Structure 1
Amino acid sequence: MKQSDRSAILTIKNLFHIQKKEDAAMHFNKRGPSLWCLGSLLAVPAHLACTSSAHLTIEPHVNESVSLSALDPGPLEQRREIDISSCPEFGSIWRYESDGLVDRTGLSDINAVYWVATLPLLNSNEGYYTIRGQYPEARFFSLEVYDPNPVDSLLDFQIQPDRGSSNPFSGRGSGADKNYTISLSPSGFTRLTGNSLFTGDAPYLNYYVLMYRIYDGQLPEEGLSLDYQENPQQLEKQGGEKLPQISYVSPLGNQAKFQSQETICSQVEQQGNFLEQLGQNLERLADSWTANIQRLEPNGGRLANDPPIWFVGESLNSALVPLFGNYPLFLNKVEERLENAPPVELFTNAANSYLSTYLNSEYGDVFVLQFKAPTFPGLDTEDRVVDMQSQVQYWSFCTYNLTTGYTGDCLQDSQFVIDEERNAQLVVSWPSNRPSDPDTGLPVENWLPFSGFTTLLIYRHLLPSNYFRRSHYFYERLCDRGWDLNCFGRYQAIQLWMGEYYPEGTYCSRAEFESGQCILDNK
């Protein structure tokens, strides 16, 4: 370990007031057990084993806690399987699609496409769901269960292939096909295939939410199937494959919760447009925030801070101080209401870590970030197996309207202009104030728009290398261990952890930027 790394970690420990437990070989937190690896501080999630591999190695995701004989519906001839992929009322069980083109809601990354299915709750003796799909041509894909907080997930290279198939993301398997099968079942239900997702108890909803993500889908090299001749864009979003098929599998007899496709599809329909309802609730919450700020702090300062305060994670609590720090009365009221509230991490991606801050154009026409860019796989790689030479599998910056959650725009790693030393710059302004490059006079590259009076800026790291210690992914996992409940928002500790990869930011006028005078003092 470099002396600078050692000093940074010691300083972070002092900031956290961490007392390391020498005999702690394993700890448990809300994400499950975490193993000590890469020294004493870098925790990896439960199913991420520390190995000599350069990247996170995820073991088969199964639960051996309950015997198969106790809960299995029985031999194949004693089961009934009902295909619910094409419920007649709405055409597809994948009722919602967010592609960054038509729909930019929900704090989404527009370089990814999200499909959502809602499935009726099941007791352990009422069967399970089976998901059958094909590995897509994409940089990344996953299937995750929510309630709406994260419950369980399977990432692309975790998913074991069917017999006669291969997984291009892990290199497992030897067949020419690309098929996989996943069982989705109530908590405690044992594995039925090599791949299992568990549903939890769904305490906040009366159904399961299943989300299918694809990052950077590609068209198949062999050309378009007849089903997509008139809509190649849709096939590209899907990574060249059809959306996964979902079936309800139950024991024969009275234990089956649903006896036909009509009955189960009818219940799915009754679950309603939950995304629309969620959006309406969030808008009401935002309106309430605005009204309360005006009432409690009529002469208060601006939202956000200069320089910006960064925080990690998806917890609402960790996001409050950077936003409402200039409104102490309102902040106290909100914190009081959230003190006993359940944690909220709506539909987050298990493979991602989120480093976020708030921007306010009243501080300046132009906001400028400088950071060292992590390395990432080339996009023309024939094999989708994790690139061992890359620090992350994917990274991006996105701007969002804080009130609505609407995505302004995103820039992913491959779209950035990066110099030979891997230094990069990001510029944020209103479109009407997009500055020119001081050297070329052309519109500045690496640019994103402000997306509201207060803009949320999110920096994603997806599947970092075990050896890329500076990723905020590992800092967030450290916070997850529960050593310091406030560490998610300790921006000085985050800065020390990330070192030169930390995004430093400042505001300036358009004229200052175009004359080369927009300089980061803290650099």
Structure 2
Amino acid sequence: MLMASSTSPAAFALSPERQELDVTGCLGGIWSLPIDGDEDRWAFAPDEYAMYSTAWIPFLGPENSAHFEVRGTAGTARYWSLTSYGPDGGVLDGLPDDQITLDESGFYSVELRDLPEPPRPPSEPNVLYTGYEEGVALEDTAVIFRTYLGGEPEPPRLWYVVEGNPPGLPQSIGEACRLFDTRKVLAGHTEPVRFATGADQRFEQISSATRAVDPCWVPREPNGWFVSDGARDPATDPYADTWPCRGRGRVWDRLVPYPNPDNKYLVNHLDPLPPGISHPLYVTRFRLPVTPGLEPPGGLTQTRYLSVCTYQLENGGYLVDCLHDGELVTETAEDGSRWVSLVVSEPGDRPSVVDNWLPLASDNPMILIRHLRAEPTFEESPHYFDPGGGESLAEHMGPYFPAASYCSRDDYEHGTCVVPSSATRS
């Protein structure tokens, strides 16, 4: 768990050279819009085991003698990060935990620095860039604190720091609190769904719906997986045109996803009623990358975290269910590799005996396999797939590609469901 540091300075520290004000408590808590993937299932296709908090950081400018700092203590979460975003949810900068320097007690301090891009200095330790998007100054920057498998983390502290004693800058916590956009902070506490999505009452009504109908849903082939970084902007996401019904007024088209830049997603749009199959199942099989959850020998891993989740795309990417790498039941091959067989179906069609199962529970179902922080040695990872590189996704991923097919529950239970083998990577 990540907790605010008990060794951090007092909430108000003054010296002739430096003034520090702890503004974490401003406006009822500067970290607002708390999202728990297990409870807030409407939140842009969340992971069930992830938690998020957002702070809107006011623009100070590169010439200002003041800046903000995020301070906390690293704990036991599988993964945590700080990421900055522009007003449309585009990533400005990101710092995953393994790029944040800690002191001997596990304490860290990250400076939030308003600086245009380009140019920026070479990578600096414990600096998160804020304030500008494509060279244009922003009124404020959304900074999101994320954890995966971190229990119920308390967000870090936010400090307002002034170098020297220049005139005209806030001299008290109350004055510093007035720098923040009161509307955004308070709305993040009181109306998280409406504020986060900018959506209308219709979204609020269906955000927790059991099923939502999408009349123009277009399923893909069983092996029609594609790689996404979570963005929906055609200018930045080469797969943006694969999202069905784009531009037809669907609720999802109005959402701002704030993607995690450390994730790559394998995505497929499933057919809830594949023709000619009674009681249909979607069955997939793939080699599971080595993660910390598998207790690898010598601590050598391929990716930090993996999960498989099902969603309804129409009502905000509503989360149906997830299984993370530590929950997946695996078969061990002679070479020691671990393999996953997974079934997705309507709850009423669940096979009588199955190790890994996820509910379809949707008329517009999406399945997503989340790969978080791949190691450079894991060349088959979707993180390193080049769609213009001349090889298919299946060829690139080899045994890690989730080969799949549709079959009936009867065929599955009688052992006659055929799932194609994953490609062998040369």
Counterpart among 399, 408, 412 of residue 500 in structure 1 = 399
Say which SS state the counterpart of residue 326 (structure 2) adopts: helix
Shift of 1:350: 2.5
Preserved CA contact (<8 Å) 2:231 2:259? no
Counterpart among 350, 353, 372 of residue 261 in structure 2 = 350
Distance change in 2, residues 1:320/1:349 (3 Å): closer
Does 2:62 align with 1:144?
Answer: no
Query: Could you tell me which residue of structure 1 aligns to residue 343 of structure 2?
Result: 427
Does 2:55 align with 1:117?
Answer: yes
Count of residue pairs the alignment pairs up: 366
Query: Could you tell me which residue of structure 2 aligns to residue 131 of structure 1?
Result: 70
Could you state the TM-score of these two structures normalised by the residue count of structure 2? 0.76
Shift of 1:499: 1.1
Pick the structure with more helix per residue.
1
Say which SS state the counterpart of residue 54 (structure 2) adopts: strand
1:417-496 paired onto structure 2 within 5 Å: 417-421=329-333, 422-437=338-353, 444-475=354-385, 478=386, 484=388, 493-496=392-395
Preserved CA contact (<8 Å) 1:141 1:215? yes
CA distance in 2, matches of 1:436, 1:457: 22
Query: Could you tell me which residue of structure 2 aligns to residue 515 of structure 1?
Result: 414
CA distance in 1, matches of 2:67, 2:272: 50
Shift of 1:304: 1.2
CA distance in 1, matches of 2:130, 2:200: 25
Say which SS state the counterpart of residue 498 (structure 1) adopts: helix
Preserved CA contact (<8 Å) 1:430 1:450? yes
Unaligned runs of 5+ in 2: 1-13, 207-213, 249-254
Preserved CA contact (<8 Å) 1:207 1:271? no
CA distance in 2, matches of 1:204, 1:283: 32
CA distance in 1, matches of 2:160, 2:68: 5
Say which SS state the counterpart of residue 199 (structure 2) adopts: helix
Query: Could you tell me which residue of structure 2 aligns to residue 159 of structure 1?
Result: 100
1:316-395 paired onto structure 2 within 5 Å: 316=232, 317=234, 318-324=238-244, 346-363=257-274, 365-378=280-293, 389-395=300-306
Unaligned runs of 5+ in 1: 1-74, 166-176, 218-235, 288-292, 325-329, 335-343, 438-443
Preserved CA contact (<8 Å) 1:397 1:410? yes
Distance change in 2, residues 1:520/1:204 (3 Å): farther
CA distance in 1, matches of 2:38, 2:411: 34
Query: Could you tell me which residue of structure 1 aligns to residue 181 of structure 2?
Result: 268
Preserved CA contact (<8 Å) 2:263 2:370? yes
Shift of 1:183: 0.6
CA distance in 2, matches of 1:369, 1:496: 16
Query: Could you tell me which residue of structure 1 aligns to residue 197 of structure 2?
Result: 279
| One-letter identity of the residue aligned with 2:266 | L
Preserved CA contact (<8 Å) 2:78 2:149? yes
Say which SS state the counterpart of residue 361 (structure 1) adopts: coil
Pick the structure with more strand per residue.
2
Query: Could you tell me which residue of structure 2 aligns to residue 77 of structure 1?
Result: 16
| One-letter identity of the residue aligned with 2:284 | L
**Identity of counterpart residues, as a percentage?**
29
CA distance in 2, matches of 1:501, 1:150: 28
CA distance in 2, matches of 1:308, 1:321: 18
CA distance in 2, matches of 1:269, 1:260: 17
CA distance in 1, matches of 2:143, 2:298: 28
Shift of 1:320: 4.8
CA distance in 2, matches of 1:321, 1:522: 28
Distance change in 2, residues 1:372/1:133 (3 Å): same
Query: Could you tell me which residue of structure 1 aligns to residue 5 of structure 2?
Result: none
| One-letter identity of the residue aligned with 2:102 | P
Preserved CA contact (<8 Å) 1:387 1:393? no
CA distance in 1, matches of 2:265, 2:410: 32
